[in-house]
Amino acid sequence: MRGDQAPPPASSPTPSTHLTGTTHWLSGEGFADITKLRELAAKYERQAAKVLARIARYHTKIEKLRHTATLLREKAEKALERIPEYQQEMSQHERTIQASTSQQTTHTIGSDITSLHYRIRQLQQKIVDLQHKARRIEHRAAIRTQQAAVLKVKADRLNDQVRAAQTEAQNYRKRADRLQLAAESDSPAPASGAPPPPPPPPESSETPGEHDQL
C-alpha cells in the first residue's frame, strides 16, 4: 500500500424516510392513545344514534295517541250535540200536556197524555245515555292524553341522555385531535434532499520519495 493513498472515507449514514418522526410516533404509544380516544368517541356517538331512534319511535306514538284523543273528543261532542234537540222536543211535549190538562173538565187522564209522558221519559233516557256515552268517550281520550304525557317525559329524559353522550363523544374527539396535533408538532421534519458530501481526505505529511528512500 502506497503512502500517498489515503483510506477511503467512511460513508455517512443516509437518513431513512421510513423513520420520520411522524411514522415513528404513529407506531408507538401515542397512536394507541388516539385510537382509543376515537374509539370511545365513536362508541358514544353510536349510543346517541340508538337513543335518537328510540326517541323517534316515542314521538310517533305520542302523535298517534294525541290524534286518537282528538278524534274521541270530537265523537263525544257530536254525541252531546243531539241533546238540545231532545230537550226541545221534551219541552214541546210538556207544553202539550199542560194545555191538554187545562182544557179537561174531568180528572181522567187520556191515552194521548200518557203517551206524551211516555215519550218524555224516552227522551230523558236518551239524554242520559248520550251523556254517559260522551263521558265514557272523554275518559278514553283522557287515558290517551295521559299515555302521551308519560311518553313525552320519557322522550325528554332520553334527550338528556343523547346530549350527554354527544358531549362525551365531542370531548373525546377533541382530546384525540389535540393529542395528534401535539405529537405531529413535536416530531422532527423528514429528511429531504441529497446527503451532504463526504469530507476531503487528510493531507499526508510525508515528502514525495520518502518511501523510495526507505
Q: Which residue has the higher pLDDT, 85 or 32?
A: 85
pLDDT greater than 70 at residue 193: no
Given pLDDT bands bounded at 50, 70 and 90, which one contains residue 10? very low
Q: How far is CA 90 from CA 3, 84, 86, 114, 119, in A?
A: 144, 10, 6, 14, 8
Question: What was the pLDDT predicted at 195?
Answer: 53
The cell 341522555 sits on which residue? 161
Question: What was the pLDDT predicted at 138?
Answer: 96
Question: What was the pLDDT predicted at 100?
Answer: 77
Q: Topology of domain 24-187, per CATH?
A: Helix Hairpins (1.10.287)
Question: What was the pLDDT predicted at 106?
Answer: 57
Q: What is the mean pLDDT of the chain?
A: 78
Cβ-contact 23, 210 below 8 angstroms: no
Q: How far is CA 138 from CA 71, 77, 81, 141, 148, in A?
A: 10, 9, 14, 5, 15
Phi, psi of 45 (to 5 degrees): -65, -40
pLDDT greater than 80 at residue 122: yes
Q: In this structure, how many other beta carbons lie within 10 angstroms of the beta carbon of residue 102?
A: 7
Nearest alpha carbon to residue 9 among 201, 204, 203, 205 = 201
pLDDT greater than 90 at residue 57: yes
pLDDT greater than 50 at residue 101: yes
- Domain ranges in the chain? 24-187
